[in-house]
Amino acid sequence: MKSFKADYVFPVYAEPIKNGVVSVDDSGKIIAVADQQTHAESGHPPPENLSGVICPGFVNTHCHLELSHLAGKMPQKTGLIEFIKEILKTRAADKTLITEAAKKAEQDMIENGIVAVGDISNTNNTVDIKAKEKLYYHTFVEILGFLPGGAEQIFDSGLALLDEFKPKPRSITAHAPYSTSKELFKLLKKYCDSDVKNLLSIHNQECEDENKFFRYKLGKFTELYEYFGMDTSHFKPQARNSLQSILPLLTSKQEILLVHNTCTNLKDIYFLKRFDRKINWCFCPSANLYIENQLPKINLFVDQGFNITLGTDSLASNTKLCILSEMKVIQHKYPSISTEKLVEWGTFNGAKFLGIDSHKGSLDIGKTPGLNLITGVDGLKLTPESKVKKLV
């Protein structure tokens, strides 16, 4: 049994505890969470005294582990269209190189206090890594195809790749509005509406050009399709942003994670509320700055009644896979968002979306959520010097 005392403990299910103590058994299961005096009266061994904030292990709801070999290779702040072109040019590599980079990225996540990951896969390159269960993974196999032809073949190929990740947690999902045809969305909805659990994770409104294309069929996406020699004459502009355009095509029976949301506005949020959809949001602010040099209007999403989570995206669009770093970016831009709230987004809310909140995400007695120590805090505020240390 081990006990740790810190300036504050964030149980997540309750208010922060000043001079709190967390006790765990040898398997990392939470035995007790108490203030210093209550712990002293319990008869448990004296705690290890630490400076900072103790919180549960982090949950990264959006990552692309298989792109880890692109670390440092992608130019920054070029915009999404150029980023997509560059990814498709450079992502092919020797499988050994891809696998070794992914293993290193996984170890980095472990050291950065991450315990669970929602990971995007377009290949089987990470099957063996995930089978070792060093982290909890839910794999999202993406289907892509903006042209209406061949939708069934694309979907069947996605299901075949999905089978390669058995028996680990997995789903089939659309990549993004701009890369998924209406026909593919319909096949996905039919699958999701059947008797199957299939979480969805969809890249959403990463740049304003995505909205321009869906509203008016204008902007840089027209150039992207031309670059790839794609005939988009089938597509009719919707006079609505991309999210509003695809929402009726999404299932009402599965949890849906909308990722990035860089150009999602208040009208989009209000539009969502008119539909019976199980919407969750994921913010990856460092990747937004890396690609578009722009952050989502995160303050608009607070207190709207939706589940908010955090992600890192990939090392192709980020310098590190660290949820604390994402929290620091958000609080610097939106100082009114408290550290307590950010920890909730980066722990319990992610666990809730992934369906693992019965054992991850908070310091409830009996759970095995992992323990992190956040140092370099100013009272309860994060600072540029804040770091994370994995305790359990």
What does the pLDDT look like over 81-133, one tens digit per residue? Answer: 999 999 999 999 999 999 999 999 999 999 999 999 999 999 999 999 999 99
Kindly list the domain boundaries of the chain, sorted by start residue: 1-56+361-392, 58-359
What pLDDT score was predicted for residue 45? Answer: 82
DSSP 184-220: HHHHHHHHHHSS----EEEEE--SHHHHHHHHHS-SH
Confidence of residue 376 (pLDDT cuts 50, 70, 90): very high
Q: How far apart are CA 244 and CA 272, in angstroms?
A: 8
Q: How far apart are CA 1 and CA 17, in angstroms?
A: 21
Q: How high does pLDDT run on average in the chain?
A: 97
What does the pLDDT look like over 301-328, one tens digit per residue? Answer: 999 999 999 999 999 999 999 999 999 9
How many Cβ atoms from other residues are within 10 Å of residue 201's Cβ? 26
Between residues 170 and 44, the one the model is more confident about: 170
Pair 281, 308: CB distance under 8 Å: yes
pLDDT at 42 over 90: no
pLDDT at 142 over 90: yes
pLDDT at 225 over 90: yes
Q: Measured between alpha carbons, how far apart are the two ends of the chain, in Å? A: 12
pLDDT at 382 over 90: yes
pLDDT at 216 over 90: yes
Give the closest residue to 167 by CA, choosing from 127, 125, 121, 116: 127
How many Cβ atoms from other residues are within 10 Å of residue 274's Cβ? 9
What pLDDT score was predicted for residue 66? Answer: 98
Confidence of residue 43 (pLDDT cuts 50, 70, 90): confident
Residues 6+ apart with CB under 8 A from 390: 57, 110, 111, 112, 113, 370, 371, 372, 373
| CATH fourth-level superfamily of 1-56+361-392 | Urease, subunit C, domain 1 (2.30.40.10)
Q: What is the mean pLDDT of residues 217-236?
A: 96
Domain 1-56+361-392 matches domain 58-359 at the CATH topology level:
no
pTM for the predicted model, two decimal places: 0.97
What pLDDT score was predicted for residue 163? Answer: 98
Architecture of domain 58-359: Alpha-Beta Barrel (3.20)
Lowest model confidence (mean pLDDT) among 36-40, 279-283, 349-353: 36-40
Confidence of residue 11 (pLDDT cuts 50, 70, 90): very high
Q: What is the mean pLDDT of residues 214-240?
A: 96
Q: What is the mean pLDDT of residues 266-270?
A: 97
Q: How many percent of the chain have pLDDT more than 90?
A: 98
Q: What is the mean pLDDT of residues 204-233?
A: 96
254: three-class secondary structure by DSSP: coil
pLDDT at 269 over 90: yes
Q: How far apart are CA 246 and CA 123, in angstroms?
A: 25
Give the closest residue to 23 by CA, choosing from 14, 34, 13: 34
Q: Helix and strand tally (H, E) in the chain?
A: 14, 17
What pLDDT score was predicted for residue 44? Answer: 82
What pLDDT score was predicted for residue 381? Answer: 97
